[in-house]
Amino acid sequence: MVDTDAEFPIEAAKSELRDALNLGDMDRLLSFYSDEVVDLSEGRFTRHGECAKAALRSYLERLFENFHVNLVPIVWRIRVIGEAAHDLGWHKLTLVSKHGGETLVHRHRYLEVWRKSENQWKVVAFMSNMEPLDE
């Protein structure tokens, strides 16, 4: 049985994370990631801890410099087990060029692992990869 009360804090955090990304609020966005975060995303070196957060900050700086961002998370499943949780689904990411280029639309599959610490949920690991357009 799914405990929707337990899932709500993850849903709320994901909504705030999405809003921070869409507004280009770097500090708010990075606040959702643990200092021990592990990034296992496609096309990037596996990084962990402060190195992962620094690489994420650098990636986001370039992204926000060049694009207006619109992320639409499509959550398939959230599971909470005590002080740990995971969610998975898809991210539809629309990038509108700030320099007159074409608009890009990507769909990524994702998996996030969350941990509750000091009454806050933070992402401790994430993986994202591009979903093929056609099979």
Which pLDDT tens digit goes with each residue over 71-123?
Answer: 999 999 999 999 999 999 999 999 999 999 899 999 999 999 999 988 999 99
- Provide the token pair at 125: 């690991």
Residue 130 CB neighbour total at 10 angstroms: 13
Residues 6+ apart with CB under 8 A from 9: 116, 121
Which pLDDT tens digit goes with each residue over 17-45?
Answer: 999 999 999 999 999 999 999 999 888 88
Question: What domains lie within the chain, and their CATH numbers?
Answer: 4-129 (3.10.450.50)
Quick one: DSSP state of residue 82?
T
Which pLDDT tens digit goes with each residue over 54-71?
Answer: 999 999 999 999 999 999
Q: Work out the pLDDT band at 134, boundaries 50, 70, 90.
A: low
For the cut 90, the answer to whether the pLDDT of residue 6 exceeds it is: no
pLDDT at 29: 95
How open is the CA angle 87-90-94, to the nearest 5 degrees? 135
Q: Is the dihedral of CA 53, 55, 61, 66 positive or negative?
A: negative
pLDDT at 52: 93
